[in-house]
Amino acid sequence: MLLSIEENMSIVALLSGLLLAIYGQATSAYPMDGGAEIPLYIGGLLPFSGGGWNGIGLLPGMNLALEQINRRKDVLPGYQLRMITNDTQCNPELSSRMLLDYVYREPQKIMIFDGDCSRGSEAIAGTAHYWNLISISATASTPALSNRVKYPRFYRTCPTELSLNPVRVAIMKEFGWTRVATIHSKNEVFSLTVDDLASELKEANITLISSESFVNNPKNQLESLKKQDVKIIVAFMYAHEARKVFCEASKLNMTGEGYVWMLVGWYQNKWWDEYFGRFDCTKEELTEAVGRSNYFAIKGQELSSTDEITIGGGTVSEYDEYVKNLVNNDPDSLRYTIEYAFGYDTVWAIALALNGSIDVLKTTTFSDGRMRRLEDFTYDDKEMMMVFFESLAQVSFTGVTGLVSFENGERVGITIIRQLREDLLEQRIGDFNPAHVQDPLRWTSDIMWPGGKVPLDHTPEEPEVNITIAAFHVTVGQTTFITMCALAGAGILLSLGFLVFNIKFRKTRYVKLSSPNLNNLIITGGMIVYTSIFFNGVDTQLVSLNFKAVCCQLNVWMLSVGFVLSFGSMFSKTWRVYQVAVLQTPTREVVTDVLMYTMVVVLLLIDVGILTAWQVIDPMKLVLKELYTMDDPTIPNQLISAKIELCESGYITYWLHALYIFKGILFILGAFLVWETRKVMQ
């Protein structure tokens, strides 16, 4: 049933009132007057209405933490921590506007408590740091917020969605599923998670059959999964989108026996029964479809499984009992309180960070030559904000959700696995602790399977299909290679003819005037470049692997050295014409052949120096790269994998740039000399 804003706020009032009765004078979520202690204000941004996510469940933990902190004499002595909250309605634009309202309205806020949905959290974290405000989220698991460039002053006490992908893969491996698919709504939050999951699956040798995405109606995507015989489906979407997916899936009989669904774990209990809109399914049909699915819900641990004494002095079971008593164990009300643990731990993290900053502020002289107190913080004080930021990174305590600490602003903790049962309530059946390297996945309860047995990842009636992969090399065609070699050979023979002619008639006046020795170098360089074609076109089907690796090196050397010999010789000849015919000097300079040969040798030495450094530091190697994989049109159940042989090195781009710059300068100077000598023969 759709709850109105008034009904939501009545639950808030009930929870706060009961906390007051239990603990005495509770600290309100709104500013209060009176008291000798100096108030420190936290700006709270939570959605109490609107679609997608309801943050009302955070309030019991937030209020309880505030009360305990303000009663403690060893935490923020002389201060009283208060919180002002506003309803963001899970709307990014409204979240940004309310953040600005906090900034421009008294009282001064010292930090931002973010209980918004992921879209709202991105808006808050992307803006708050401009006013030197740290935002710490209790609920946002989107991977996008891990970007420290875009969100430099962001922390969170809930694990990121990316940290849950190893859990999903571990479950698949546990039950031997090797064929899975994903479906997600087109949203950056889910797209990033799906991309990461695809990498995790590939590393675990699990085939991702299909990765479907939808905008409004998922009907076509689900039909595609059905046709591909997908049985294990990982879904990433908001609750209102999940209702559409399960409605369409029920029509295709994809929610009962033989199918496994894995959902994100941060939906409210009975999420399919909330804000029910216009669907092709009735509420009863949708409830039946979801109930048949017995889906897995995967989420960061909400309540610690140990009975350790927490930072507040009580045990987890005691706190859990308090919250259940607040709503008289009413299941419909409990769905709004399941997040209280993250609200509790987040407020404590803020308090301990501020408490740890007190001594630092007392002993630190800032750039203006003064020290600071907590109440001195302003939105222009980046130095003071950095004290809070670094203090928050050092926070470590036992909270209701377990050990709370941060690494690069991220919370990495235990993941819990829940399963929907016949009573339409999710029950914890296992957990995943990355600290237990050998066996991180642990089952704590029996798993209920539709039909009483573990589903297969394919339809059992169909015979298993063995897919074979036929690899082939994409090479230069033999006809093309032979043709090019023949043309290169003809070029070499023609060059040899010119060389013989040049040597035989070297004393003839016109030949002698053209510097026959430099002509010989030009011809030799051309023949070397022609020869590189033979080495460039061969592949391992014609020669051995070792010889092809040698060809990688020879090809580079021949192309580069041949070019320098030919172009360098032409450059030196043009330079002599420029010196003699263009430059007007009092004395006529004689440019000898020795000087021209020296110029060619210098250019050659520069080229050889670059090539030698490349050869020694980062030699070329033969690598085999996959171009594409496709179905074999002639052989059933066979894939064709096209591969190509390439000559590469680790820093090939930098070496090529060095050669291009050297030869580019030579080209530019050569073009200049040609332009300047263009009228010499006229």
Q: 180 or 467, which is more confident? A: 180
pLDDT at 281: 85
C-alpha 574/C-alpha 304 separation (Å) is: 83
Q: How confident is the model at residue 277 (pLDDT cuts 50, 70, 90)?
A: low
Beta strands in 104-178 (DSSP E): 109-114, 135-137, 154-156
Q: Copy the structure tokens of residue 561.
A: 């050295």
Strand pairing category for 441-443 and 426-432: antiparallel
Q: What CA–CA distances, in Å, run from 384 to 129, 354, 375, 378, 461?
A: 13, 11, 11, 9, 67
**404, exposed or middle or buried, with CB in 10 Å at 0-12, 13-18, 19+?**
buried
**589, exposed or middle or buried, with CB in 10 Å at 0-12, 13-18, 19+?**
exposed
pLDDT at 332: 56
Three-state SS letters, 215-282: CCCCHHHHHHHHHCCCCEEEEECCHHHHHHHHHHHHHCCCCCCCCEEEEECCCCCCHHHCCCCCCCCC
Q: How confident is the model at residue 26 (pLDDT cuts 50, 70, 90)?
A: very low
The 10 Å CB-count burial string (b at 16+, else e) for 256-294 is bebbbbbbbbbbbbbbbbbbbeeeebeeeebbebbbbbb
Which residue's entry shows tokens 């906390």? 19
Can you give the pTM of this predicted structure? Answer: 0.55
Least confident range of 8-17, 19-28, 41-50, 200-209: 19-28
pLDDT at 6: 34
**What mean pLDDT, rounded, does the chain reach?**
84
Choose among 601, 514, 482, 619: nearest CA to 557.
Answer: 619
The tens digit of pLDDT for each residue in 47-62 reads 987 655 678 889 989 9
Q: What CA–CA distances, in Å, run from 441 to 305, 382, 434?
A: 15, 43, 8
pLDDT (mean) for 200-215? 94
Q: Is the confidence at residue 297, as pLDDT, over 80?
A: yes
Q: What CA–CA distances, in Å, run from 529 to 482, 535, 566, 570, 661?
A: 17, 11, 9, 16, 20
pLDDT (mean) for 17-35? 36
Q: How confident is the model at residue 34 (pLDDT cuts 50, 70, 90)?
A: very low
pLDDT at 176: 93
Which residue's entry shows tokens 């002639």? 634
Q: How confident is the model at residue 359 (pLDDT cuts 50, 70, 90)?
A: very high
Q: How confident is the model at residue 312 (pLDDT cuts 50, 70, 90)?
A: very high
The tens digit of pLDDT for each residue in 212-257 reads 999 888 999 999 999 999 999 999 998 889 999 999 999 999 998 8
Which residue's entry shows tokens 């939808």? 214
Q: How confident is the model at residue 379 (pLDDT cuts 50, 70, 90)?
A: very high
